[in-house]
Every structure is written in C-alpha cells, then in structure tokens.
Amino acid sequence: MKVTIDGISIEVPDGTSILNAARMIGGDIVPPAMCYYSKLQGSGGKCRTCLVKVSKGSEKDPRPMPKLVASCRTTVMDGMEVQNITSPEVVEARKGIVEMLLLNHPLDCPICDQAGECDLQNLGFEHGAAKTRYEFDRRTFEKIDIGDKIQLHMTRCILCYRCVFTADQITDHRIHGILNRGDHSEISTYIHAAVDNDFSGNVIDVCPVGALTDKTFRFKNRVWFTKPVDAHRDCDHEKCNGKVTLWYKGEDVLRVTARKDVYGEVEEFICNTCRFDKKKTSDWVIEGPRKISHHSVISSNHYETLIPLPVVKTNPLLVEANKEQFERQTRL
C-alpha cells in the first residue's frame, strides 16, 4: 500500500491507519491525537484533532472524500493522497477543535500537576489561539478520589475515553465509565467505588490532561524540575515487566511512571506496586537518563535534542506550508 501524506510517500502494510502511516514518516506531518492510543482497542475518533483531508481516495477510486476524516480511524487505501498541514482547511478545522477542547477546560496549568507533560497544553501551544472567544462560566465538578492513590479532577477532562478503555482492557474488572451526556458527561466510578486493581494506575498515564493525577505526587513538584531516569526491577506481577521511568528531585524518587514515547503513549503498562510503592533508589536498577522529546518543556536546556527534524529539513513543500513552525524549530 502506497500512501502519500503532504507530498511524502511511504509504503505501509494493509490495514494501517492514516495516523500510523504518518507516524511512520514522522516529523511535523503527524496529526496530533488526543484520544487515540495505539495500545487501546477501539480508542480514537472522538477528539477530532487528527482530522485530515483525503484529496485522493485511492488508485481505484480517485475521488476525494467529501468531509475531513479522523486519521486515527481511517485506514489507508493504495494510492491515497492525504493533506494534513498543507491544507488550509485542515489547519482551520484543527484550530476550531482546539478552541472547542479548551472551552470548558479550566486552564489552571499553573497549579496542575500535568503541566509540562500535558498533551492539551502542547496542542494549545501549537495550534490554539492566544485568546478564547468564550465568555461564559466553564463547567465545574467536585474533585473525586478514585481509590486512595488516584484523584479525578473532572473539570480538566476532555472526555477522550482513554481511561475507560484502559479500565476495560488492562484492568481486571470494569467499574469505570461515563455518566450523563453532552458537556455534562463525566468520567465516574459508580457511587465513587474505589478502583482497587493492580493495573488501575495506568489510567494516570493514559490521561492526556491533568484530570487523573497520582495522589502520591500531587503538588510535590513541577515536572520540569525533576529528572527522568530509566530503571527496571524484577517485578513479580505476571503482566508487568517492571520497566519504568523514575522522576528524581535530588536524591528522592518523587514518582514512577511508565515509559512514554514521543507521542505520549506508554511503551508498556506497569503495575500499581511499581508505580506507587517502590520509591527508593535501592528498589531499582538504574539504566540511565531518559530522553524526552525536545518539544517538551522537560527537555529545556537539553540542546542535544534540538535538531531540526529531517522531514522538515528536506521537504520544500512542508517548509513552505509550515514556515513558522520550521523557524521555531530550527532557531538555535
């Protein structure tokens, strides 16, 4: 299957989604994804930030698709041509989506634990407007404790459903879902039933915003002041490999998370014991510092990661379409 995204062609296996094809190419042409999570079945299609324009359906049926499509849930066809950042229509639509996502979001980044590693923050920075046109009260919810280790701050939630899929697919039994509808929808565990499960902590990692936070780390530190270090331990849980990132402040391990890749997805889910209970250096075998994408504020002052992406550098079409981005990234 040959697919062309923003003028760059790639061969991908049958059944690949446009988003994954774009991730194989890499660089700036990858649509942002707030709800899609490659490790969770059925995720995606909800946040609409990954909308792209299919300007040519396939080799057999070259008609363009009438609407913008969610790239995470649309499979590629042979000869498909996709426009992402080269289509003004897509850029405009995405700007609209980001504005919508931020409508009811409290923007309390200064006191949010997720700040610095928040997908919504990054998205807003890249695609959003500096000012909102929304002049009404935002919806608010009371904070809810889900068990003794996780706190749900529904006000910040963008309803990506990732944690629902995690609770469904990764943990043993589901007591976690969505109540109500429309903008009153809320993530909930019915009657505040505690999520008491070996793998429940993973909902914190999959949450793209600060709606689900680790209570053992809450308000301890800003993430960009901590140092990520890869480590592993011999975990006796059958589903957990014990491969984690430790976040150090001085000598102390402030928190433990799974290892996240460049798209914010974890490499392997980890168990609650590793995440919440092993916070001493002696519990772990240290592997070395973890590289965080230079997009992230966590990597500030790490100049070795600040290399312009090869795709941007070599593709004149993209350079033209995304000049501002290009300048920001190549400025040194």
Partner 1 sequence: MGRKLLLEHINVPGINTFDVYRSKGGYAAVEKALKTLTPDEIVEEVKKSGLRGRGGAGFPTGMKWSFLAKPEGKARYLVCNGDESEPGTFKDRYLMTYIPHLLIEGMIISSFALGANVSYIYVRGEMMPQIRILEKAIAEAKAKGFLGKNILGTGYDLELYVQPGGGAYICGEETALIESLEGKRGNPRIKPPFPAIAGLWGCPTVVNNVESIAAVVPIIRDGGEEYAKIGIGRSTGTKLISAGGNLVKPGIYEIDLGLPVEEFLYSDEYCGGIANGKRLKAVVAGGSSVPILPANLFLKTAALAPRLMSYESLSDGGFATGTMMGSGGFIAFDEDQCIVRNTWNFTRFYHHESCGQCSPCREGTGWMEKVLHRLEYGHGKMSDMDLLVDVSKKIEGNTICPLGDAAAWPVASAIRHFRDEFEWHVTNPSAALAGNFGLAHYADPLPAPEPVA
- Contacts with partner 1, residue ranges (CB under 8 A): 44-49, 51, 67-68, 70, 73, 93, 96-97, 99-101, 103-104, 133-134, 136, 158-159, 161, 177-178, 180-185
The interaxial angle of helices 119-127 and 88-103, nearest 10 deg, is: 130
Residue identified by tokens 């901590």 is 226
User: Minimum CB separation from partner 1 for residue 181, in Å?
Assistant: 5
Buried b (16+ CB within 10 A) or exposed e, 112-129: bbbbbbbbbbbbbeebbe
- Cβ-based nearer residue to partner 1, 178 or 309: 178
Asked if residues 189 and 203 have their Cβ atoms less than 8 Å apart, the reply is: no
Residue 33 main-chain phi, psi, to 5 deg = -135, 120
How far apart are alpha carbons 192 and 256 in whole angstroms? 25
Question: What 3-state class would DSSP assign to 176?
Answer: coil
User: Minimum CB separation from partner 1 for residue 180, in Å?
Assistant: 7
Provide the 10 A C-beta neighbour count for residue 222.
15
- Cβ-based nearer residue to partner 1, 96 or 308: 96
Dihedral angle, C-alpha 291, 292, 298, 303, nearest 10 °: 70
Concatenating the DSSP letter of every residue in 100-131 gives HHHHS----GGG-TTTTS-HHHHHHHHH--SS
- Cβ-based nearer residue to partner 1, 70 or 207: 70
User: Minimum CB separation from partner 1 for residue 91, in Å?
Assistant: 12
- Cβ-based nearer residue to partner 1, 242 or 264: 264
- Cβ-based nearer residue to partner 1, 3 or 25: 3
User: Minimum CB separation from partner 1 for residue 67, in Å?
Assistant: 5
User: Minimum CB separation from partner 1 for residue 321, in Å?
Assistant: 21
User: Minimum CB separation from partner 1 for residue 45, in Å?
Assistant: 4
- Cβ-based nearer residue to partner 1, 3 or 254: 3
